[in-house]
């Protein structure tokens, strides 16, 4: 009875947290919406003691101009395209059934095409280390590690002044800020005794220490989804899943920011699949926006792609 009450309380807390970050009131975010790649990856949720090494790949091509909830003429935006590939090796280790740590070392390759001050369309391509993330994990709420919270920092290790006469601060690979990271997750059987399971995640990125008179907007992302774990082929398990992801961001501020053209709310549908044959996991999804509301004129991507390969030890 005690465990049932605890599970009920955790469900209510998780639902409240998810609903709170999906509300379109206050907005949160990073320049290119890259934080959305950190939720919806259920393969990353800890399930036992021990370690996991992983490699994430994410891709988006922001090539469509948008104003509010509608497509807008490309002529209304000096920026024409932002194409980004995120390659992130990292590791996660659960020291026991309550405490763990995770670190991510992102590398970003970016192509940027824009109109310069002379009215000419120019482009830049560059690659560099992004902003490193280090987080603690607490999963001591239940014995099966089905719920937990995360907390940590995003460090200003990425460059934020590359070709500053062409590349704006909100298009740089690094934000130049030290951010506080907070998050939580929960998973549970959808129907007791079946292979159906539901899960949710939420993350909050709060820029705290900033540089160069530029403060990126706060960012929040959340996902809720279901999966089916009943497809077994010998030692291998194939798990289809479906998710809804909410992403909101606030406008950037400071003399180096373009506050009139930053900040948005969006909702994405993300079908995905996971292949698991211990100790290897492979996860992939495609995230398709079904609702977007941006402030001013901004480039958006028609779809986002994510692939994760992890090895447990």
3-state secondary structure 222-265: EEEEEEECCEEECCEEEEEEEEEEEEEECCCECCCCCHHHCCEE
Closest CA to 298 of 139, 98, 122, 65: 65
CATH code, domain carrying 8: 2.40.128.130
Residues in contact with 23: Cβ distance below 8 Å, sequence separation at least 6, in sequence order: none
Number of C-beta neighbours around residue 142 at 10 A: 16
- Decide: 114 and 80 in contact? Cβ < 8 Å: yes
**How confident is the model at residue 41, as a pLDDT?**
65
Domain that holds residue 304: 2-312
Q: Look up residue 136 and give its two tokens.
A: 């603690």
- Decide: 264 and 293 in contact? Cβ < 8 Å: yes
3-state secondary structure of 2: helix
Q: Look up residue 186 and give its two tokens.
A: 């929960």
**How confident is the model at residue 47, as a pLDDT?**
86
pTM of the model: 0.87
- Decide: 44 and 92 in contact? Cβ < 8 Å: yes
CA–CA distance, 210 with 131 (Å, rounded to integer): 13
Closest CA to 142 of 1, 14, 3: 3
For the chain, counts of helices (H) and of strands (E): 1, 17
DSSP 3: H
CA–CA distance, 118 with 112 (Å, rounded to integer): 17
Closest CA to 285 of 265, 270, 298: 270
**How confident is the model at residue 30, as a pLDDT?**
34
Number of domains observed in the structure of the chain: 1
- Decide: 197 and 222 in contact? Cβ < 8 Å: no
Burial class (CB in 10 A: 0-12, 13-18, 19+), 246: buried
Number of C-beta neighbours around residue 206 at 10 A: 14
pLDDT tens for the chain, 313 residues long, are: 444 444 444 444 344 433 333 333 322 223 455 666 666 566 678 889 999 999 999 999 999 999 999 999 999 999 999 999 999 999 999 999 999 999 999 999 999 999 998 899 999 999 999 999 999 999 999 999 999 999 999 999 999 999 999 999 999 999 999 999 999 999 999 988 899 999 999 999 999 999 999 999 999 999 999 999 999 999 999 999 999 999 999 999 999 999 999 999 999 999 999 999 999 999 999 999 999 999 999 999 999 999 999 999 9
**How confident is the model at residue 44, as a pLDDT?**
75
DSSP codes, 99-122: EEEEEE--EEEEEEEEE-TTS-EE
**How confident is the model at residue 45, as a pLDDT?**
85
CA–CA distance, 170 with 161 (Å, rounded to integer): 10
CA-based radius of gyration for the chain: 20
DSSP codes, 181-214: EEEEEEEEESSTTSSEEEEEEEEEEEEEE-BTTB
CA–CA distance, 220 with 212 (Å, rounded to integer): 23
**How confident is the model at residue 35, as a pLDDT?**
64
Closest CA to 174 of 156, 189, 190: 156
Strand partners, 205: 181, 219
DSSP codes, 27-63: ----TT-GGGGGSS-GGGS--SSEEEEEEEEEEEEE-
């Amino acid at each position: 009875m005690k465990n049932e009450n605890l599970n009920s309380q955790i469900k209510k807390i998780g639902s409240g947290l998810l609903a709170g970050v999906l509300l379109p009131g206050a907005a949160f975010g990073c320049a290119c919406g890259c934080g959305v790649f950190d939720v919806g990856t259920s393969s990353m949720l800890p399930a036992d003691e021990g370690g996991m090494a992983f490699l994430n790949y994410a891709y988006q091509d922001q090539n469509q101009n948008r104003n509010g909830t509608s497509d807008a003429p490309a002529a209304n935006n000096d920026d024409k395209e932002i194409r980004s590939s995120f390659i992130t090796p990292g590791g996660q280790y659960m020291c026991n059934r309550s405490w763990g740590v995770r670190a991510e070392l992102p590398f970003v390759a970016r192509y940027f095409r824009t109109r310069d001050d002379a009215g000419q369309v120019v482009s830049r391509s560059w690659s560099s280390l992004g902003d490193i993330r280090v987080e603690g994990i607490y999963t001591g709420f239940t014995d099966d590690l089905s719920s937990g919270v995360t907390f940590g920092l995003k460090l200003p290790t990425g460059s934020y002044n590359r070709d500053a006469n062409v590349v704006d601060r909100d298009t740089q690979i690094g934000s130049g800020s030290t951010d506080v990271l907070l998050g939580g997750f929960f998973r549970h059987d959808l129907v007791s005794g079946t292979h159906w399971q539901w899960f949710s995640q939420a993350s909050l990125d709060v820029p705290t220490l900033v540089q160069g008179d530029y403060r990126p907007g706060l960012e929040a992302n959340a996902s809720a989804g279901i999966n089916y774990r009943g497809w077994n082929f010998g030692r291998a398990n194939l798990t289809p899943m479906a998710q809804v992801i909410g992403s909101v961001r606030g406008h950037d501020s400071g003399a180096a920011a373009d506050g009139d053209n930053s900040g948005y709310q969006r909702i994405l549908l993300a079908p995905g699949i996971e292949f698991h044959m211990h100790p290897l996991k492979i996860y992939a999804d495609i995230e398709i926006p079904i609702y977007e509301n941006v402030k001013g004129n901004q480039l958006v991507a028609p779809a986002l792609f994510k692939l994760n390969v992890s090895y447990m030890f």
